[in-house]
Amino acid sequence: MPIGQAKFGLLGGVVDPGKLELIKTQTVTTSTPYVDFTSIQESTYNVHFLTVNNFRPTTDNAQLQMRFFESGVLETASVYQFALQYGSATNVFNESKSTAINYLRACQTVGHFGRERGHSYNYLYNLGDSTKYSFQTVHNVYINKTPDTFFTFGSGVLPQASTVDGIRLFTNLGDIDELTVSLYGIAES
């Protein structure tokens, strides 16, 4: 049977691999310490897609950080690893990395003044697979008060095989002042 027939459901079901399926969107408009996703449908999706829009902290120079819940327990130990490259429109380039830290970066450092905002997207792999490590790739752009526009890209890992069934987003300084964040699952078949 031609692939087109299968895609349109002539085999008994719609097949649309790679389709983004919204799990949940959360919006923060007043100061809050964290945002949790506690129902991520980890047994349905092997790949998740997390979008961060208009992140603004209550404190200047704060990052949006991420931790995972493993079987309902938040992993807060310094077991995460990441490596990031970043640069700016004014020709500043550098890297940041760690092999023993207690978070992953969901969005890079932004401030609290004027038009300062951070935006990112994160792919999350193997969250519900208890036999594999959970991985992240992140890409983001952000504006700070200098004014300058920055970009960051990189990856992170929780290097222990576990069932990740939740995600927490929080800042390293102060609280989250503004944020719209959406979690999607990516259909495999």
Is residue 107 one of the residues assigned to a domain?
A: yes
Is residue 168 one of the residues assigned to a domain?
A: yes
Residues whose CB is less than 8 angstroms from the CB of residue 164 and which lie 6 or more positions away in sequence, other chains included: 40, 42, 68, 69, 70, 126, 127, 128, 134, 158
pLDDT along the chain (189 residues), means of 10: 48 66 96 96 96 93 95 97 92 93 92 84 97 97 78 96 97 94 90
Say what the pTM is: 0.88
Q: What are phi and psi of 139, to 5 degrees?
A: -135, 130
Is residue 139 one of the residues assigned to a domain?
A: yes
Say how many domains are in the chain: 1
Give CA separation, 107 vs 11, 41, 133, 183, in Å.
42, 23, 21, 15
Identify whether the C-beta of residue 122 lies closer than 8 Å to the C-beta of residue 64.
no
pLDDT value at position 1? Answer: 41
Is residue 4 one of the residues assigned to a domain?
A: no
Query: CATH number, domain at 47?
Result: 2.60.120
- Which residues constitute the domain of residue 88? 17-186
Is residue 68 one of the residues assigned to a domain?
A: yes
Which DSSP state fits 6?
H
Q: What is the pLDDT of residues 108-118, one digit of tens each?
A: 888 777 778 89
